Amino acid sequence: MLNEDQREIRDLIRALSRERIAPRAAEIDKSSEFPWDVVELFREHDVFGIMFDEEYGGAGASALMTLVAIEEVSKVCATSGLILAVQELGSLGIKLAGSEEQKRRFLPRLASGEWLPAYALTEPGSGSDSAAMRSEARRDGEEYVLNGSKRFITNAGVAGLYLVFAKTDPGAGHAGISAFVVEADTPGFEVGRIEPKMGIKGSTTGELFFNDMRVPANNLLGEEGEGFRIAMRILDRSRPGIGAQGLGLAQGATDYALAYAKSRETMGEPIAQHQLIAATLADMETKCEAARGLLYKCGQLIDDGAEGSELRKISAMSKLYCSDVAMEVTTDAVQILGGYGYMQEYPVERMMRDAKITQIYEGTNQIQRLVIAREMVKEQRSFLLAGVG
């Protein structure tokens, strides 16, 4: 599916990942410290630019190449792959709903990597149910005053720019939600607890607090009440990024398990020659390839301008399938390594821990199944039964 130029970019990112990021992966996990050196590597090689149009300082926006980049980096370090995924997630609101003035004000600093962004939707009492959010924004002259909190926000404390959702009409449910661009140095903005986690430990996940935080009215994205629609359009395009992270983990675990199985001998031959191990490796590889086909198709559809039901369904499918494959394949990789797979000395242990979150964030896989089924119900398929008695 990739043309020659795209393969060249992929190979560059693959080389950077193997030579510069892979040697850091275990230490990032062990220290639980955000890897600013990886951010600097991405800046130096203009990796962030893949996600942005040239007129805003990028290299030419491509959803497909963004997914390829996340996949390649995640093969060696899921935390580093997530940096790229969230750069896209946190920027999409401005790309999709921002005014030209907002785009020119914010996107160049995101395209260069000067700023990392964050997407602040989830609250302690509202995850999948966005209408239950309690954060509020009240218009006061040429400003909005925001009060409330967010939880489980990726890039909390390291982002320079936050896309914050709050209710401008608390009684209107989804229709009362609005979206705001908030700079990290805004008075009244506070970062709270950074959570200790099972996996992706180098990525910050934390609380945000808004205490009479004043945001300029020209930082409102779109119109009042359009926040939920903006949030869903963002997720339709960002969920495949989590699928790419999952696919990278799965392929990285498969590659490592294969190398181990070719060198580890029992009963006088490499364990890769034993039928049960060989069958497991074959299943792992097949799942990765199937996931890649679905994911890349989704990326190409986004680049082709797909909208609505078509995009929503395949986006949910790619996130669902790739993340389920990540959990299945990394678990199989640990099993192939046996006792060694359970030890922190070997990367498949880290990969298995990292894989779990891909089934949870940016919409749990249970939610993805609901989304897919709802879109299926809307489709007209009766023609398939024509002539069947």
- Looking from the CA of 270 toward its CB, the CA atoms found within 13 Å total 10
Q: Give the Cα separation of 342 and 338 in Å (integer).
A: 7
H or E element, residue 119: strand 117-120
Q: Give the Cα separation of 63 and 68 in Å (integer).
A: 9
Identify the sign of the CA torsion 163, 368, 348, 8.
Answer: negative
Per-residue buried b or exposed e for 301-316, using 16+ beta carbons within 10 Å of the residue's own CB: bbeeebeeeebbbbbb
Asked whether 154 and 82 are in contact (CB, 8 A), the reply is yes
Residues 6+ apart with CB under 8 A from 280: 332, 335, 336
Question: Does the annotation count 362 as an active-site position?
Answer: yes
Other residues' Cβ atoms within 10 Å of the Cβ of residue 331: 17
Q: What is the DSSP string of 213-235?
A: EEEEGGGEESSTT-HHHHHHHHH
Identify the sign of the CA torsion 220, 222, 226, 231.
Answer: negative
Identify the sign of the CA torsion 356, 357, 360, 362.
Answer: negative
Residues 6+ apart with CB under 8 A from 15: none
Q: What is the DSSP string of 147-165?
A: EEEEEEEETTTT-SEEEEE
Per-residue buried b or exposed e for 200-223, using 16+ beta carbons within 10 Å of the residue's own CB: bbbbbbbbbebeebbbeeebbbbe
Structure tokens at 270: 């490499």
Annotated catalytic residue within 88, 123, 207, 362: 362
Active site residues: 362
